[in-house]
């Protein structure tokens, strides 16, 4: 059982859209912030967006206006809608959640496996 189960991603043409998501394990609880980072080949991992448990969102400058982060607290799932994609958005997208997991007695950040997003014609 993994803390965060990824889904979505794939290949899309420039200007297209994709949605990626991560569902938290049933063993994860008191989930606070959830969000996304991304990493292109040969580049450092960079922040994309975050959403608090109350729904407050924040975005990187490159994401604002094109990407939308949301979450379903009933499903403990975070989504990232990617619109108006361009080749520079190609990379692996990683979700994270600040939460308690299984028998941990402190909140930690847990990460999902990378979701590949390729923007190419």
Per 3-state DSSP, the chain is made up of helix, strand and coil in percentages (nearest 5) of 0, 55, 45
Residues 117, 106: Cα–Cα separation, whole Å: 33
pLDDT the model gives residue 82: 98
pLDDT the model gives residue 37: 98
pLDDT the model gives residue 115: 97
Nearest to 100 by CA among 26, 45, 42, 48: 26
pLDDT the model gives residue 104: 85
Residues of the chain with pLDDT under 70: none
């Amino acid at each position: 059982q993994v803390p965060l189960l990824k889904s979505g991603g794939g290949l899309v043409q420039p200007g297209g859209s994709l949605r990626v998501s991560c569902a938290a394990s049933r063993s994860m609880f008191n989930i606070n912030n959830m969000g996304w980072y991304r990493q292109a080949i040969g580049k450092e991992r960079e922040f994309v967006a975050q959403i608090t448990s109350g729904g407050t969102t924040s975005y990187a400058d490159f994401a604002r206006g094109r990407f939308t982060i949301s979450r379903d607290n009933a499903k403990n799932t975070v989504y990232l809608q990617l619109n108006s994609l361009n080749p520079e958005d190609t990379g692996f997208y990683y979700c994270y959640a600040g939460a308690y997991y299984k028998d941990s007695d402190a909140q930690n950040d847990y990460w999902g496996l990378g979701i590949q997003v390729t923007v190419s014609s």
